[in-house]
Structure 1
């Protein structure tokens, strides 16, 4: 079992005492926890790239022509939109990231793949 500790505004002497007593491994940010990045600053568009890539990959993996409109809508509601909701429940996403996600969902809904306009 890996146990890590992160420090903020702590001098090195105190850090060493805590690490030695607790036998933790010191780590630095950013890291991923349950698929979400843990960082100390506001998310940039670059930090949200994995979300956009994951939505695109999932939308492109399905052959949208084999689904009806209602089938594509159900896939968006149950899978693709839930990815965005998970990130939105943890972070304030920028409008450009939200618009990019919605653009991908719209393209998939109307019969194209996630990155090709029909």
Structure 2
């Protein structure tokens, strides 16, 4: 009897996702960071800019949004282009560009 049948697990092959991280892909590829970018944009879409003060926006960026890439950084190096892209999203949000302009500036 196979061990996977005994444990009730499933055997997969690479590439696959484990705990939200893509495994078996090129670690220097910028494509793996697109999920992080989309997650940041989704979180920004839920906030109404008119209800946030400048301090509230800065707190949101520092405490919530900047932690999104941290989990990926535990496994993958951040390409310089992706770092600039994330910073641009934060800057546009801070300046009040709104999500429509954030999406078009990327």
TM-score scaled to structure 1, two decimals?
A: 0.72
Match of 2:44 among 55, 59, 84: 59
Structure 1 residues 34 and 25: CA distance shift in structure 2, 3 A: closer
In structure 2, the residue corresponding to 1:26 is in which secondary structure?
A: coil
Measure, in 2, the Cα distance between the counterparts of 1:105 and 1:114: 11
Name the larger-Rg structure.
Answer: 1
Measure, in 1, the Cα distance between the counterparts of 2:82 and 2:63: 20
Aligned structure 1 segments of 4 or more residues deviating by more than 4 angstroms:
none
- What's the Cα RMSD here? 1.8
Pick the structure with more helix per residue. 2
Q: Which runs of 5+ in 2 are unaligned?
A: none
Q: Show the counterpart of 2:61.
A: 76
Q: Report the CA distance between 1:71 and its aligned residue.
A: 0.1
Q: Report the CA distance between 1:115 and its aligned residue.
A: 5.0
State the number of aligned residues.
98
Q: Show the counterpart of 1:47.
A: 32
In structure 2, the residue corresponding to 1:48 is in which secondary structure?
A: helix
Task: Tell me if the contact between 1:56 and 1:115 (Cα under 8 Å) persists in the aligned partners.
Answer: no
Q: Which runs of 5+ in 1 are unaligned?
A: 1-19
